[in-house]
Structure 1
């Protein structure tokens, strides 16, 4: 029963069915069953009470055959690696089907942003990008917001990444506020 509810197992079964219908080459089918890269990172964060809490984060780069991977960052208390892997797989296929030159990526951190202060969220956001910085970039992997990652969080992440690289890199993250070279969204237009 648990396997039936595992999002990554569901994604793999979907791929298997499509591969059979398309008579996909076995080597390509096997390559697409697993992510190209899976990062699991530990993010120590000094909490407001003075204690340090270690959060677990993920970044999955599923396939970059069509271009840099791209996908959101999720902050959620029930985040799982299998959910992140499934979402990265689906992003890969979605981009391929509509001929967008990106591969699929997705990230997540197991945390409850609703129970964290602004300072704790900022320290977590900056810590997450420090942990994955060597694996992202506009020609590698382009993160974006997703569940509970607000434009403010993306601003902190963009700022921290620019500090790491020692120059301003606003194009590495999508869905930033207009004030830091973002583009207008529905409410801004």
Structure 2
């Protein structure tokens, strides 16, 4: 005669709750916070602060960047699911011009395209750079798209480094993030 193992309802419930909590923590699912609440995050190693909506998660990164992407110094995202992300990229440079930052941004997109071509995938379509003034500084902007994903880069030259602030989102959701992205870009400030 076979013995049957029975788990009590309480043990099964606790087991499921622990797994659910683990999934929530690992996926960093969005926290319900007021839509209008903003906070400031500082990356002291690279001397900048940014304001961001607390409905999203913000993380800073040091010398080694995010998962080997050495130039990623800040990420703002809703959760680890989907394509939405705002990231700040930084590269050292001596007295860079805005054109130097745009050239670096173009090289990043070209590298992405080379990798996509090698895998037989569609490449990014780049749109012309436009120019804007933010907090008294001239910046460049470029939109590029592929397979339903839209990116917008904002190029900023500082005295000792180059900064790219990038918004990435599914194309159909892009417009709903633009207003918050603009506020984040406007809030970017050096700590010098």
Q: TM-score range by the shorter chain?
A: under 0.3
Point out the structure with the larger strand share: 2
- The structure with more helix, counted as a fraction of residues: 1
Rg (Cα) greater in structure:
2
